[in-house]
Amino acid sequence: MVTDDTSITHNHHSLPTYCCPCCPSRDAVDMVNVLYNQVDEEVHKLVILSNKSLKQLESLLEVRRFEEQTEQIKVWFSVEGEKHLTALDSLPLSLATVKDMRQSLEQFFEESVVSLNIVNFILTCCFLL
């Protein structure tokens, strides 16, 4: 019986020091705080990197949208402009056909101005990012 008491006492001294059986030592609490702060700092760094990556991806997406929209306008301008230029070669020159062509070209010009305004708006939005 005495042997059991001394072994228990001996084992009790090798355990960390607690103010009471349910409380960890101050050193253990300090170590946990240090580790928590390190994890918190690393998480903060990851959040910053994640936000930076997200902004870069959003910028790339905006550039991609701009490229698609300008390509659509370029194709439209090419197709519509070609229609008007082809008409010059194939129509007989008379006052009526010249008036029709002028009206058609004025309409094309107005549509081109609208497209130009769209491009300017897109460029303005891209440079504001």
pLDDT tens digits along 67-90:
888 888 888 878 877 776 666 667
68 closest CA partner among 124, 122, 127, 128: 122
pLDDT tens digits along 21-65: 666 688 889 999 999 999 999 999 999 999 999 999 999 998 898
For the CA atoms of 23, 27, 29, 34, the dihedral, rounded to the nearest 10 degrees, stands at -170
